[in-house]
Structure 1
């Protein structure tokens, strides 16, 4: 973890770096909205995988927690 940053801040910085590398930023409302819509779709896929038994309950819980952390990124920046 980078010195002085929380785990959430570090995650947000890494994600923001991905966008900056493509001349975008999560501080732009339209970009942040598209990002959150995409995460919602990924969350639906993770839920469906759990429903079909592709991933177990503990894996589902971990994946959903990571996605929730990622969804907080625009508000952390």
Structure 2
């Protein structure tokens, strides 16, 4: 029997917690996209943080967003 590749298993009436988690993940990804879009346009290398150059800040912020953040 072939595996079910549809999203029918995630319908709210069948698995409400999973459907809610998927909806929240999608909403978070859509909300974060504009925030991270212009992140590389700032002169981070000209700024400093407690450990030196702030050129690593964009990468660290993107890492916090995980797979949901566009690169």
Structure whose residues are more often helix by fraction: 1
TM-score category of the 2 structures, normalised to the smaller one: 0.3 to 0.5
Structure number with larger C-alpha Rg: 2
More contact order relative to length (CA 8 Å, sep ≥ 6): 1
TM-score by length of 1: 0.36
